[in-house]
């Protein structure tokens, strides 16, 4: 397994929106994320560190306006923190090695798939299609990605 770190070069390549979301705890407007309607088989990785976060087989249409997942592909790569901003109590989701703000997790996901909804900003993710996973160093996760 590769070592993932907060990559200064990756930080310098972020778009203003990616920087705002990942580094300043921002949220993209609902329905605007480029990965919201991504339906190909593959994995979603942290845009800063490259650490694997979610599999396409765990993505579902929640209707909330952001990509939604039932669970992380590698739980150790996702940290959950108490968030009391905006006058409410939520659970923030951050990447472990990149320390990128990803979004939030809520207990209103599909009950038959664990009951969680990881509501994630597209701006914090990079999609790696299944046929490119091996070449990009993510071959260990191929068995967790179902063909669609």
User: Which residues are annotated as catalytic?
Assistant: 119
Q: In what order do the strands lie in the sheet with 78-83?
A: 59-60, 68-69, 117-120, 101-106, 90-95, 78-83
Which backbone phi and psi does 127 adopt, to 5 degrees?
A: -95, 135
Which backbone phi and psi does 96 adopt, to 5 degrees?
A: -70, -50
37: three-class secondary structure by DSSP: coil
125: three-class secondary structure by DSSP: strand
């Amino acid at each position: 397994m590769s070592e993932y770190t907060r990559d200064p070069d990756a930080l310098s390549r972020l778009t203003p929106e990616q920087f705002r979301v990942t580094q300043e705890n921002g949220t993209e407007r609902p329905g605007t994320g480029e990965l919201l309607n991504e339906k190909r088989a593959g994995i979603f990785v942290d845009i800063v560190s490259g650490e694997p976060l979610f599999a396409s087989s765990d993505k579902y249409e929640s209707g909330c306006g952001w990509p939604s997942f039932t669970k992380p592909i590698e739980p150790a790569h996702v940290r959950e923190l108490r968030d009391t901003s905006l006058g409410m109590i939520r659970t923030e989701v951050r990447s472990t090695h990149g320390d990128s703000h990803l979004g939030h997790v809520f207990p209103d996901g599909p009950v038959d798939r664990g009951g969680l909804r990881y509501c994630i900003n597209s701006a914090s993710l990079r999609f790696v299609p299944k046929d490119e996973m091996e070449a990009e160093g993510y071959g260990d996760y191929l068995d967790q990605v179902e063909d669609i």
